[in-house]
Amino acid sequence: MRHRARAALALGLPLLVAGCPAPEAPEPTVPTDIFGALGEVLPSASAAQRETFARGRRVATRRFTPEQGLGPRFNVSACSDCHERPTVGGSGARYRRFLLTAQRLPDGSFNATGTNGVQDQFTLGSREPTTPGTNVTATRSPIPFFGMGLLAEIPGSEIASRADPDDRDGDGISGRANYDRGFVARFGRKAQTASVEGFIRGPIFNHIGITTNPLSEEMKARLPVPSAATRSSALTEGRSGTSVQAQVAAADEPLTDSDGVADPELPEQDLFDLVSFSMLTAAPRPDPPTPTTVRGRTTFERIGCAACHTPALRSPRGLIPAFTDLLLHDMGEGLADGVEMRLASGREFRTQPLWGVAATGPWLHDGRADTLADAITLHGGEAQRARDAFAALGETDRGELLAFLESLGGREQVTAGLLPPDAPVPAAGAWGGPLPGLDAAALARFERGRRRYDGDFAFARGLGPLFNGDSCRACHFDPVLGGAGPLGVDVTRQGIFDGAGVFTAPAMGTMAHRHGAVDARPPIDARANFFEVRQTPHTFGLGRIDRIPDSEILAHEDPDDANRDGVRGRAHRLADGRLGRLGWKGNVPSVREFVRDAMGAEMGVTVPEVAGETFGATRDDDGVADPELTRDELDELAGFISALAPPPRTSRDPALEALGAQVFSRVGCDACHRSLRDDAGAEVPLYSDLLLHDVAAPDARGIGEGAAGPREFRTPPLWGMARTAPYLHDGRASTAEAAIAAHQAEAAASSRAVSQLSPADREALLAFLSSL
Amino acid sequence: MRLLRAALCAGLIGCSDPAPAPQGWAAAFDANDAGWLMNVWGPRGDALFAVGGRPSEGRVYRFDGSAWRRATLDVQAPLLNWAWGFSADDVTVVGNGGTVLHWDGRAWSRQSAPRAENLWGVWGASPTDLWAVGGNGAADDRPVLLHFDGTSWTDVPPPPLQRAGVGAFYKVWGLSADNVYVVGQRGVVLHRTGGAWREELAGASGDLVSVWGTDANHVLAVGGRANGLVARWDGTRWTSRSYDVLPGLNGVWMRTPRAAHVVGGNGAAGTIDLDTLALTESTTPTQYDLHSVFGDASGALTAVGGTLGSAAGPFFGVALRRPLTASE
């Protein structure tokens, strides 16, 4: 208790007032200027703060490249990659889950492994291994940030006052505060962090590999939640009597890495803006009460949910209705993850705020709950009694309680994927839009397919057991739905090379999945000693590629380099005689097979048996009846992708681009990157011959697929490349210039020619490529 | 609500009694512009060496019993982290970038170290038997363990560690040439007996930053970053515990097992009874991080620290001093 009193001193003073609360002080009320739609700025923000919020949002959505400091280890390349649902600052779907890892030693000590306890999936170009000795693995789901600044303002004393670690009141609920450097911590699934700054600096390092220095005291003092320590002099009143605020507990250490980019990789102003953005996100605006939700709230309180999901905490602004006590609670063995953070044990979790809960599923710390009802019934430990009471509710009471939860903000932003409910279909021919000329019925099918492409596949529908994404959009979203994927959603392939350099594919296949069962990293072949990442290409215009006759592709084959131009090119012939044309290895013969393949390989979703279609898995062992995708759904997805328009050509300087086209041809790029004609004789300006070429470096290793050798890749189409970086099969090139420079073997002469271009010709070439 | 009001009152100036009066801690000197002060050591109360500085410039301050003065270093050095010696004329100081300096009573000289990582701690049983430890702390870094035989420093490979990801050792301290402890990142503990280093599992779930003891049955390692953490060796086994509200601990010194003096983040200071591991906190007049504490032969305790952490600064220091009581 003594400690708690001191913590109250340290935390409570500045946020309350310098003096006792007057006995006759009016009861606080919920302020009216804190609510907004999810992702909006606090209504109370000043004009200057709104500008900071906008800048910070741009930092949150910035996609870092290796040249900007991404890596050397990473899971994603932008903050908003994980915090994206239903908008920037939110949570993420299952494909955004990540793993925490640690080592539990015989002496009982807990030693975080990986990158400060985070298992990164990638190094640049490969798969990050698991730290030897790791024996604790726990799945985490991204946590929403909405209203974070309001939670930061709540005095530590207010949080600590609700702790009852020994359950002295005998209600079965204990609850204790976590502490971070002497301050009541409150952020994170285990309330492991006291400061917003700390909660941002850690993850952008652990998940993106972006280094920062701590904010200076001057900058801290300017944050929306003032966070500076009184450090103007060494000698002050000390911790117990100064105006130190919780935010002071931000970690002090500069973060550095060894990726060759100067540290800090994020300038202080950008960090300030990012922290400010998080602090300035509005509280989710609750719906006006209805008789149903009022009854639901009564039930919520009656069955004991409110014992931890405290309806409101006091702050200097008044009552903050986040529905959390911000304390740690034992959630039982079923939810225990074995992860210790600060004082939190492997069974303890912070009470998750419920504002905005409707729109930030899947739920629980690891996203294992498909529905709010599932989330409630998975509660255990201190919440067992309330959970049992919920399970015993009649259908009406249960429905009203869930309606109440859904009324706590964000209900109108609920989405099955990432598309907002009212997102318009892009115009015909635009990025993500349909092919021109579709009739109303076809457009309606397009929209249905688009929604299906965007929507999550739940475990109950057959997602898994192993997967990389839980929707098509999970990987194909850049710059819009249907597009490419950044490095953070690369697919990882595994292989075995022996001492003589001979490649063997693992019996389990070359796919090294990223996601699987909760609290485990998907297995790889124990002998795998080579990993290759594969960048996600866009799916625009695939329907047009589908209509290119085999003869048109075969016409450009020259496997023996008969014309002696150094460029060969051979078609990927499947064992059944079909011609492959899609994918990095050109091994997929059609859009329908592409969908079937991706559903199985990337999502673990089984597809129906269809005559003449051989790709995809028709059976798996996840306990969901096969096929998990119906024929209609398959048709819908394939139809949607086939109807996606090719990327629109853009032109900023036609004369320059025309010159660039000439250069493109002169240096020989069009030997492989060429237009083809479809079955109606119309030009398909994809800039690919759809043939396999060896463009790898002499010492390059790779993973073959079908008839495509380890060094061979299908000529990637260039249409849309201006907005679909990074480039090459492994995404190693952040720019077109870097991609061209990396071409070797069959493309060596062209690459060399480009390197020798005059600056004017080079500018023209890049302008041309950018216009595609 | 009743609980809330009680807590609120407990947290408000004027609602409750003032904070306990400081137990004697006072500024040793105005060290605000001294840079970070990382460690203090001395053979006598009138011969103390405080070392620190900033990343680009190491500094030494000396206390002669009446005043603290900045020493003139005859060599360029980066931040200096720890000091150990055998007399006022035989002091070894280690610092960033593999820095080892030696004071022979007349001048400071640089000693060649076989590793370039930061060195965080040094201790010796004799002038011909010193150990220095360090490391840059990244998970794939190798922690540094160096030995000085009176002539040169050699790189001693640490034993294979069961504890994963240890990239730095932080301090070394011993009772004799064949009873030496090293503590470090992620709670690692090495113990040297029988002429060999062995890893010991001390039950610490966090960095152990410093170590001290009084005899073979009373050794205390302290650390933690966010929460104070200690691990005690009682001659038979290690026992660890954390202190919820207390920030991480950086320094420990003791002359009796009844009172291990500890200091840590945000001006934290106190004593720990090694038998019970009970902590008695004392109030310090600073919220800077305290990094080390040392009791000298005159019966005074000195604690030093500063605005530790960011390589970008600020580089303010603090030095506190108070008398030791007889029971301490």
Ranges of beta strands (E only) in A75-174 are 98-104, 110-112, 118-119, 122-123, 126-127, 136-140
Shortest distance, CA A405 to any CA of chain B (angstroms) = 25
- Average pLDDT in the B138-155 region? 93
Contacts of A182 in chain B (CB under 8 A): 245-247, 265-266, 268
Interface predicted TM-score (ipTM): 0.90
Shortest distance, CA A295 to any CA of chain B (angstroms) = 24
A470: left (phi over 0), alpha (psi -120 to 50) or beta: alpha
SS3 A166: coil
Q: Which residues of B274-308 are buried (b: 16+ CB within 10 A; e: fewer)?
A: beebebebbbbbbbbbbbbbbbbeeebbbbbbbbb
- Which pTM does this prediction carry? 0.92
* A190/A89 Cα distance (integer angstroms): 19
- How much is the pLDDT for A531? 97
Q: What is the dihedral of CA A442, A443, A445, A449, to 10 degrees?
A: 130
Q: Which of B123, B127, B90 is nearest to B105 (CA)?
A: B90
- How much is the pLDDT for A680? 97
CB–CB contacts below 8 A, A to B: 203
- How much is the pLDDT for B14? 30
First to last CA, chain A: 68
Query: Does the pLDDT of residue A8 top 70, yes or no?
Result: no
SS3 A394: coil
Contacts of A165 in chain B (CB under 8 A): none
**Helix or strand (DSSP H, E) at A51:** helix A47-61
What does DSSP assign to residue A282? Answer: P
Nearest to A233 among B18, B32, B283 (CB): B32
- Chosen for mutation from A179, A190, A236, A269 (greatest number of chain B CBs closer than 10 Å) is A179
Do residues A645 and A540 lie in contact, with contact meaning Cβ atoms separated by under 8 Å?
Answer: yes
Tokens of A621: 């062992």
| DSSP H helical ranges for A434-590 | 440-454, 542-546, 550-554
Determine whether the interchain pair B12/A19 forms a contact, defined as Cβ–Cβ distance below 8 Å.
Answer: yes
CA distances A555 to A549, A550, B157, Å, are 10, 8, 64
* A166/A4 Cα distance (integer angstroms): 14
Could you tell me whether strands A283-284 and A35-36 are parallel, antiparallel, or unpaired per DSSP bridges? parallel
Nearest to A107 among B31, B202, B266 (CB): B202
Phi, psi of A682 (to 5 degrees): -80, 145
* A246/A228 Cα distance (integer angstroms): 9
Query: Does the pLDDT of residue A54 top 50, yes or no?
Result: yes
Q: Name the pLDDT band for B310 (thresholds 50, 70, 90).
A: low
- How much is the pLDDT for A247? 42
Residues B39-71 have pLDDT tens digits of: 999 999 999 999 999 999 999 999 999 999 999
Residues A556-601 have pLDDT tens digits of: 999 999 999 999 999 999 999 999 999 999 999 999 999 999 999 9
Residues A242-269 have pLDDT tens digits of: 333 334 444 567 888 989 999 999 999 9
Query: Does the pLDDT of residue A9 top 80, yes or no?
Result: no
- Average pLDDT in the A83-101 region? 97
Contacts of A18 in chain B (CB under 8 A): 12-14
- How much is the pLDDT for B225? 86
Tokens of A683: 């030009």
Tokens of B176: 């004799």
DSSP string, B165-189: T---EEEEEEEETTEEEEEEGGG-E
- Average pLDDT in the A139-168 region? 95
Nearest to B247 among A162, A182, A242 (CB): A182
Could you tell me whether strands B99-103 and B90-95 are parallel, antiparallel, or unpaired per DSSP bridges? antiparallel
Identity at B81, one-letter amino acid code: N
Q: What residues are paired with B220 via a beta bridge? A: B212, B232
Phi, psi of A511 (to 5 degrees): -75, 125
Average pLDDT along chain A: 92
Nearest to A111 among B31, B187, B266 (CB): B187
Q: Which residue of B has its CA nearest to A178?
A: B244
| DSSP H helical ranges for A675-729 | none
Determine whether the interchain pair A234/B242 forms a contact, defined as Cβ–Cβ distance below 8 Å.
Answer: no
Nearest to B284 among A216, A238, A252 (CB): A238
- How much is the pLDDT for B314? 83
In this structure, the number of other CB atoms found within 10 A of the CB of residue B227 comes to: 26
CA distances A392 to A109, A397, A401, A769, B65, Å, are 40, 10, 13, 63, 76
- Any CB–CB contact under 8 A between B79 and chain A? no
Residues A717-770 have pLDDT tens digits of: 999 999 999 999 999 999 999 999 999 999 999 999 999 999 999 999 999 999
Determine whether the interchain pair B15/A258 forms a contact, defined as Cβ–Cβ distance below 8 Å.
Answer: no
| Residue B326: burial class (beta carbons within 10 Å; 0-12, 13-18, 19+) | exposed
Query: Does the pLDDT of residue B20 top 90, yes or no?
Result: no
What does DSSP assign to residue A500? Answer: T
Q: Which residues of A116-128 are buried (b: 16+ CB within 10 A; e: fewer)?
A: ebbbbbbbbeebb
First to last CA, chain B: 43
Do residues B132 and B172 lie in contact, with contact meaning Cβ atoms separated by under 8 Å?
Answer: yes
Range A590-594 contact pairs with CB under 8 angstroms and sequence separation of 24 or more: A590/A546, A591/A542, A591/A543, A591/A545, A591/A546, A591/A638, A591/A641, A591/A642, A592/A634, A592/A638, A594/A542, A594/A641
- Chosen for mutation from B117, B266, B281, B290 (greatest number of chain A CBs closer than 10 Å) is B266
What does DSSP assign to residue B217? Answer: T
DSSP string, B9-35: HHTSBTTBPPPPPPSS-EEEE--TTS-
- How much is the pLDDT for A24? 65
Q: Which residue of A has its CA nearest to B185?
A: A111
Shortest distance, CA A131 to any CA of chain B (angstroms) = 7
Q: Which residue of A has its CA nearest to B3?
A: A161
* B297/B278 Cα distance (integer angstroms): 26
Determine whether the interchain pair B203/A132 forms a contact, defined as Cβ–Cβ distance below 8 Å.
Answer: no
- Average pLDDT in the A473-490 region? 97
